[in-house]
Amino acid sequence: RVGAIRFSSAEAAAVSLGEPQAPGGMAPTKDSENDSRKKTFSEILAERQVQAQRTVLINCPPNFNAKAFLKYLSQHGNIKNHFFYKSKAMYAVIEFSEKESITSLQDVITIPEFKDEYPIPFKSRILTLMLRKQSDPGSEQTQILCHRQTSIPVEMLLKKLCDAESVSEQLYLLTNECQLTEENTKLRFLACSLIQDIASAYVPDCIVKPFGSTVNTFGKLGCDLDMFLELNKVGKNSAKRKTSPFNIIYQMKKAPSERIAAQRILNMLGEFLDNSGPGCEGVQKILNARCPLVRFSHQPSGLQCDLTLNNRIALKSSELLYLYGSLDPRVRALAFSIRYWAWNHGLTSSIPGAWITNFSLTMMVLFFLQQRQPPIVPTLDQLKKLADAEDKEVIEGFDCTFVSNLNKIAPTSNTETLDVLLGDFFEFYGNFAFNKNSLNIRKGKEQNKPEASALHIQNPFEENLNISKNVNAAQLQRFVSLARDGAWILQQVEKRPLDNSKPWGLAALLQASEPGRVGKGFKRLNVLNSDRVKDLLNSLKM
């Protein structure tokens, strides 16, 4: 049957209730069954980067025979992995076993010819499959499974949550439903690798690495892709220099400061992405920000990207969150759910402003877990004590040392359930003395606030900085009132009603943000929305 391809929008991850699943792609897997050592963050990252370099992204036409196409591609080498997904069009992600297969494939790829337009000939690994002739009517019909790359709608999630047995099960269910899948993680690493190819045209040997929610185990399907360009590796090969009487250096243009150099490089890359980067649309150069960046939409992957420069401390913070998220399943489920709750209530936003960021929010969850008796997660100082000589890392003068081997961290003896932890989290922050105290996850203790910001969370590595300096008093107040409401709602509807008549537990918490459903939530939300609009307008004015 000609062109009779049926697309099934498959749920990528099979969800089992009450059982936390490994975070897609960033699970600390072991090398083999006999090897008890879990891989470190750097090892997983390196593995994923190599995988991405062996991968191509192909825009596929409707009505094509996928099986025959895969067979055609395998003339160039063994296909180790592949999957299909839909963004604006359907795409195939094809991972070869060997990088050389891509070179072989490139030998048969041609540059397109357009009628009234002209191609800008940057040869990337984003390709388009064209059909030379109509499919053979006798050819086998292929059913293509398209992997979902976005979170399920809130209403559908609420229904699922209501069917769970306990609040704890609800938190695991939410995490399993909305976390990054293996395929989405692969796509994110591929997007970084594609941007690296473009950047390499200017700066050979540079590396583009993902950080933030793509790798910290708390990423939700649909979250932005934070990436940074590492230049420092270039020209650092000084081993031979020391033994020779000669020293040859590159002639380079100079900039008056590191910040200005970063702005110039990002400006140049922004232009290049805009003019020649296949699939890069809506490029914005935000060069005057504290951390200058280029923001763009990567159309083929459907990812919104933020590209920064030499952001090694940010990668280290992401590794720290990854480590905490991998220690105990409750940590990831609680932090993931709190981040979802905050997003659902409009407490966080992808637009920069006076609101709490997901990074700060995650630190608040970790700090809360350090306060339990016995603590559920160790302090950063304790993680530093467990570090090996190879773990020692000083970045820009800041000591970022902590243990990388997960096996060295003893599991907690705390057995509290997430039912208890969720309610207590809201109570803890509903009553926290934010006016006097600062949160410090390095020491695991509250400290006197050194400055007047509304919310003070000490940067784990750059200890003189406050990661939530941007948060204003109104936004903090919204967080506190929503936390108090959360504690109250959970006390009222903690258990599943026998007749399934009302949303309960986490579903009630999330539903309280939907206007009209819960009277109390509705009134409060109108006020919040107007605050939010004001803040948005102010941030735009700034």
Chain residues in the site for ligand GTP (CB under 6 A): 211-213, 216, 218, 223-224, 226, 313-314, 317-318, 357-359, 459, 462, 467
Residues 6+ apart with CB under 8 A from 444: 367, 370, 371, 375, 378, 379, 380, 381, 382
- Supply the minimum distance, in Å, between the C-beta of residue 449 and ligand GTP: 16
* Residue 226 contacts Mg ion per CB under 5 A: yes
With 0-12 CB in 10 A as exposed, 13-18 as middle and 19+ as buried, what is 119? exposed
DSSP lists the bridge partners of residue 320 as none
- Supply the minimum distance, in Å, between the C-beta of residue 223 and ligand GTP: 4
Answer with the entry of ligand GTP, Mg ion, none that 126 interacts with (C-beta below 5 to 8 A by kind): none
Nearer to Mg ion, 197 or 224 (CB): 224
Answer with the entry of ligand GTP, Mg ion, none that 429 interacts with (C-beta below 5 to 8 A by kind): none
Site stretch for Mg ion (CB under 5 A), options 64-72, 209-217, 329-337, 444-452: 209-217
* Residue 219 contacts Mg ion per CB under 5 A: no
Distance of alpha carbon 318 from alpha carbon 313, whole angstroms? 9
Considering only 212, 219, 423, 486, the residue that binds Mg ion (CB under 5 A) is: 212
Residue 439: phi and psi, rounded to 5, are -95, 130
Nearer to ligand GTP, 53 or 308 (CB): 308
- Supply the minimum distance, in Å, between the C-beta of residue 350 and ligand GTP: 6
Total residues binding Mg ion (CB under 5 A): 4
The residue whose Cβ lies closest to Mg ion is 212
DSSP lists the bridge partners of residue 226 as 211, 306
Nearer to ligand GTP, 213 or 337 (CB): 213
* Residue 505 contacts Mg ion per CB under 5 A: no
Answer with the entry of ligand GTP, Mg ion, none that 317 interacts with (C-beta below 5 to 8 A by kind): ligand GTP
Encoding tokens for residue 275?
């003019």
- Cα 292 to Cα 91, 285, 351, 400: the distances in Å are 32, 8, 15, 22
Nearer to Mg ion, 226 or 328 (CB): 226
- Supply the minimum distance, in Å, between the C-beta of residue 453 and ligand GTP: 12
Residue 191: phi and psi, rounded to 5, are -60, -45
Nearer to ligand GTP, 212 or 505 (CB): 212
- Supply the minimum distance, in Å, between the C-beta of residue 396 and ligand GTP: 11
Identify whether the C-beta of residue 348 lies closer than 8 Å to the C-beta of residue 339. yes
DSSP lists the bridge partners of residue 440 as 445
- Supply the minimum distance, in Å, between the C-beta of residue 109 and ligand GTP: 34
Nearer to ligand GTP, 318 or 412 (CB): 318
DSSP E strands, 14-117: 55-60, 79-86, 90-96
Q: How many CB atoms lie within 10 A of CB 111?
A: 7
Encoding tokens for residue 531?
């605050």
Encoding tokens for residue 479?
């967080």
- Supply the minimum distance, in Å, between the C-beta of residue 77 and ligand GTP: 35
**Residue that the structure tokens 């997960």 belong to:** 406
- Supply the minimum distance, in Å, between the C-beta of residue 212 and ligand GTP: 3
Residues 6+ apart with CB under 8 A from 378: 370, 409, 444
Binding residues (CB under 5 A) for Mg ion: these are: 212-213, 224, 226
